[in-house]
Chain A
Amino acid sequence: MHFHRYEKYWLIFGLCTLVVFLTIVGVNAFSGGHQPPTGMMTLDPTKVDQTPPFDQPGLKKVDDNTYEANLIAMAFGYNPSKIEVPVGAKVIFNVTSKDVVHSFTIPGTNVNMMITPGHVNTSEFSFDKPGSYLVLCNEYCGSGHHMMQMTIEVK
């Protein structure tokens, strides 16, 4: 098949850019640890309230500066609807759904993950600035979807 000379240059340039780009994305993901949220834990979505750690939802201290937030998403809110976190703390969010698909999204941060029933999704974030952070659901979940929110108070 014949390629025009300029088309060859164009495609070679494009493919080289692609290789460089995918290498950066790949190295970032697999050696930099910048992976998209990918929780692999599963549970029965009809028995969330009885399954640890979601039988006692809320914030749990893991060590000096690390906390675990085990939260339940449901139509149309989160349980608990408010948590308090000390400034500078690293928080690991473990979130599952009791009913339909939701999301757990903190605008202005890189925390943004789908919450599918039957699965636990995980993301972590260090809150270095004090303030009140809005958490919202950005996956349609029913007539009250636009009301679904919680707050994280960082003090």
Chain B
Amino acid sequence: MNSVVKSPKDSKLSMSYLTVGFIAVFIGAICGLLQGLVRGGVIELPSFINYYQLLTAHGVLLALVFTTYFIYGLLFAGVSKTMGALSDKARSIGWIGFWVMTIGTICSTIMIILGEASVLYTFYAPLKAHPLYYIGLALVVVGSWIGGAAMLMHYSGWRKKNSGKLSPLFGYMTTATIILWIVCTIGVAISVLFQFIPWSFGWADRINVLLSRTLFWYFGHPLVYFWLLPAYIIWYVCIPKIIGGKVFSDSLARLSFVLFILFSIPVGFHHQLTESGIPEGWKFLQVVLTFMVITPSLMTAFSLFATFETTGREKGARGLFGWLKKLPYNDVRFFAPFMGMLFFIPGGAGGIVNASHQMNTVIHNTLWVVGHFHITVGTPVVLTFFGVTYWLVPYLTGRKLTPALNRAGMIQTILWSVGMFFMSTAMHILGLFGAPRRTAYSTYQDNPTALEWFHGFFAHYTTVALGGTILFIAAMMMVYLFFHLAFFAPKAENDIEATEFPIGEVAEHAYTTPRILENWKVWIGIVVVLILIAYTIPVTDMITHAPAGSPPIRTW
């Protein structure tokens, strides 16, 4: 079996992360279904469940838990594949990270189930949850630092052993992702450790609300890039191999990742544009920095389609768009991420609206934002992760993705896409009409404005419920297929049958990669400078000119 699975011990670590991730999908998707049905006026919840409790569980389990666990499972597998098996020490650290995260996840989930933490995954002060909710979340972050340290150790070990050589692209991108994650989580860790935990225990009477929100969003925007970068790793490194092509350019791929680190962090104010206490000039500076992220996004789009076109032409495609016909649409390993890419086009465009200084006022905190979230993280990232699951799990467990399982995966992808199309379109349009997000079923005492949200086809809460139901079916199929691939799919009997971990090679015509891209001190230095420029003065002001803080309040 060892010839099929490179390092069984590393595979076990990856599978453990993935398994917790898919258990989170199972529970989170049930919550999502119930929310959609309540909101659409289809069902009413029994008295022992609160809508906002479901909403908290949905956000925490899907946006925080599933993503982080999946990403760690994938990245551990990828660094083990491209840079060799982990040392025993690095693997043990990876396990410690796993258990710390898991204890934290269980702790927070129990508090949500007990109804002690209906504060949503953004836990805005001065809503006060049980201290164990915050401690649980802190453990998730600390556990992810420990696991991340294991991957960084592995990377630096590889570089010591191979001095002078260019690191594998997968390993480089993993390092960039972990660096981004550590730099951004420092903000939320400071807030949770020094603000929320002492205050929720009653050791501090009051909390600086604006500071806590600012520290949260310092973390909250790069958080979305922490989800996105692993999907980009797949797009840059694995997809070319799956479609039978080559990586378009190694250096541009690395450059785009560096730019994502630089321009995803000093931008949190664009989530606080309609908030008091932050001067307009500072808001605008961060709006400008936010838009800089368009550069690496355009580079990524170019690179992807260049790979598609080059590969299509090598396979004999003619004409301007003939290469589009040569892509393997019936291979779920390609089809799922490809559908995700398509959703990312309106997703990215919507993001430009959201970050646009004054245009944000129109959609701020409306259902539009929820729609945006679901066609960015909820589709490009999630469908890429699902597409990965179809080959990563059989690769790790020494099994096969059979044609029947591939077909099931295709159906699952189509259901997810159709469900998301209905749900997200309805959410975007309802949001433009002013429908609020994070809100249970309400007609606002039959107010005519609110009743309009139950008319029309797309501008209708029931369409949200319909899309949500289709998504739920797709999610349950995915959870089933994950466990099927992990435990029941046929075993690969030899190397030829074994499921591959697709790693693309760099195209021959590509140029050599400049060494500065691997000099992390330079890039971390620049990002620190950018963060200091964007945040020092406004944050100092928030602390020195703070109004009296807020005492803890429980309103649920």
Show the binding face of A for B, using Cβ within 8 Å. 1-4, 6-7, 10-11, 14-15, 18, 21-22, 25-26, 28-30, 34-47, 75-76, 99-101, 103, 105-108, 110, 112-122, 132-134, 136-147, 149, 151
Q: Which of A39, A40, A144 has the most CB of B within 10 A?
A: A40
Least CB distance from B373 to A in Å reads 15
Query: Can you identify 13 A-B contacts, CB atoms within 8 angstroms?
Result: A2-B249, A7-B299, A7-B302, A22-B291, A29-B358, A30-B284, A38-B279, A39-B276, A39-B277, A100-B550, A103-B274, A116-B275, A146-B51
B224 lies within 8 A of chain A by Cβ: no
Question: In the complex, which of the residues B277, B362, B438 contacts A139, with contact meaning CB atoms closer than 8 Å?
Answer: B438
- Write the residues of chain B forming the contact surface with A, with a CB cutoff of 8 angstroms: 50-52, 55, 118, 120, 124-127, 209-210, 213, 249, 251-252, 255, 272-280, 283-284, 287-288, 291, 294-295, 298-299, 302, 306, 352, 356-362, 364-366, 433-442, 444-445, 447-450, 511, 514, 545-551, 553-556
Q: Which of B299, B444, B550 contacts A117 (CB 8 A)?
A: B550
Residue of B209, B275, B359, B437 most packed against chain A (CB within 10 A) = B275
Distance in angstroms from A100 CB to nearest chain B CB is: 5
User: By the criterion CB–CB under 8 Å, are B358 and A25 in contact?
Assistant: yes
Residues of A within 8 A of B279 (CB): 38, 40
Contact between A108 and B439, CB atoms less than 8 A apart: no
Q: A45-B547, A134-B447 are in contact. Are A34 and B358 (CB under 8 A)?
A: yes
B356 near A25 (CB under 8 angstroms)? yes
- The number of residue pairs between A and B whose CB atoms lie closer than 8 Å in the complex comes to 227
CA distance A28 to B435 in the complex (A): 26
Q: Smallest CB–CB gap between A14 and chain B, Å?
A: 4
Closest-CB distance, B456 to chain A (whole angstroms): 15
Contacts of B127 in A (CB 8 A): 100-101, 141-142
Instruction: Give bound CA distance, A35 to B276, whole Å.
Output: 12
Give the distance in Å from the alpha carbon of A137 to the alpha carbon of B439 in the complex.
9
Given contacts A29-B280, A145-B440, contact A1 B291 (CB under 8 A): no
Question: Quick check: A10 and B298 within 8 Å, CB to CB?
Answer: yes
Cβ–Cβ contact B555 & A99, under 8 A: yes
Instruction: Specify which of B118, B283, B434 lies most central, judged by the most chain A CB atoms within 10 Å of its CB.
Output: B434
A29 to B306, CA, bound (A): 38
Instruction: Determine the chain B residues whose CB is within 8 A of the CB of A99 once the complex forms.
Output: 126, 550, 553, 555
> A28–B360 Cα gap in the complex (Å)?
14
Find chain B residues with CB under 8 A from A2 CB: 249, 251, 511
Instruction: Return B215 CB to nearest CB of chain A, in Å.
Output: 14
Chain B residues lying within 8 Å of A28, measured Cβ to Cβ, are 357-358
Q: Is the CB of A7 within 8 A of B252?
A: yes
CB-CB under 8 A from A145, the residues of chain B are 52, 438-440
Residues of A within 8 A of B448 (CB): 132
Indicate if the CB atoms of B361 and A43 lie closer than 8 Å: no
Q: Which residues of B contact A118 (CB under 8 A)?
A: 209-210, 546-550
With contacts A18-B291, A107-B433 taken as known, whether A36 is within 8 angstroms of B357 at the C-beta atoms is: yes
CB-based contact B274/A1 at 8 Å: no
Complex contacts, A120 vs chain B, CB 8 Å: 276
Q: Is the CB of A36 within 8 A of B302?
A: no
Shortest Cβ gap from B37 to chain A (Å)? 15
CB distance from A109 to the nearest CB of B (A): 8
State A43–B126 Cα separation when bound (angstroms): 16
Please give the distance in Å from A29's CB to the nearest CB on chain B: 5
Residues of A within 8 A of B554 (CB): 142
| Inter-chain contact B209/A117, CB cutoff 8 Å | yes
A145 to chain B, nearest CB (A): 6
CB atoms of A107 and B124 under 8 A apart: no
Nearest 3 A/B pairs, CB to CB = A107-B434, A142-B555, A138-B436
Judging by beta carbons under 8 Å apart, are A11 and B555 in contact? no
> Across the interface, which residues of A come within 8 angstroms of B209, CB to CB?
101, 116-118
Closest Cβ–Cβ distance, residue A101 to chain B (whole Å): 5
Interchain CB contact under 8 A, A21 and B210? no
Measured in the bound complex, the distance between the Cα atoms of B403 and A127 in whole Å is 63
In the complex, chain B residues whose CB is within 8 Å of the CB of A6? 302
* Residues on B with beta carbons closer than 8 Å to the beta carbon of A139: 124, 365, 438
Given contacts A7-B252, A116-B276, A117-B126, is CB(A146)–CB(B361) below 8 Å? no
Residue of A18, A75, A101, A106 touching B294 (CB-CB under 8 A): A18
* Residue pair B362, A114 in contact (C-beta under 8 Å): no
Determine the residue in chain B with the shortest Cβ distance to A111. B361
Residue numbers in B under 8 Å from A25 (CB-CB): 287, 356-359
Most chain A CB atoms below 10 A, which of B127, B213, B361, B437:
B361
Name 10 extra pairs, CB < 8 A, besides A115-B276, A119-B210.
A3-B252, A7-B252, A7-B302, A25-B356, A30-B280, A41-B276, A108-B433, A118-B209, A118-B546, A146-B440
Residues of chain B with a CB closer than 8 A to A116's CB: 209-210, 213, 275-277
Bound Cα distance from A134 to B55, whole angstroms: 25
- What is the CA–CA distance of A134 and B358 in the complex, to the nearest angstrom? 22
Contact B276 A37 (CB under 8 A): yes
Question: A1–B441 contact, CB under 8 A?
Answer: no
A64–B273 alpha-carbon span in the complex (Å): 32
- Measured CB to CB, the nearest residue on chain A to B554 is A142
Residue of B nearest to A25 (CB): B357
Report the Cα distance A144→B213, complex, angstroms: 22
Nearest chain A CB to B210 CB, angstrom units: 6
Pick the contact of B547: A22, A43, A138, A146 (CB < 8 A).
A43
Query: Do residues B514 and A1 form an inter-chain contact, with CB atoms below 8 A?
Result: yes
Distance to closest chain A CB from B292 (angstroms)? 8
Assuming the contacts A99-B555, A136-B436, asked whether A40 and B276 have C-beta atoms less than 8 A apart, the reply is yes
- Whole-angstrom CA separation of A120 from B481 in the bound complex: 52
B357 touches A112 (CB 8 A): no
Give the residues in chain B near A106, CB-CB below 8 Å. Answer: 434
Find out whether the CB atom of B447 lies under 8 angstroms from the CB atom of A149: yes
Q: Which residues of B contact A38 (CB under 8 A)?
A: 275-280, 283
In the bound complex, do residue B280 and residue A35 qualify as a contact, i.e. CB atoms below 8 Å apart? Answer: yes
CA distance A46 to B278 in the complex (A): 21
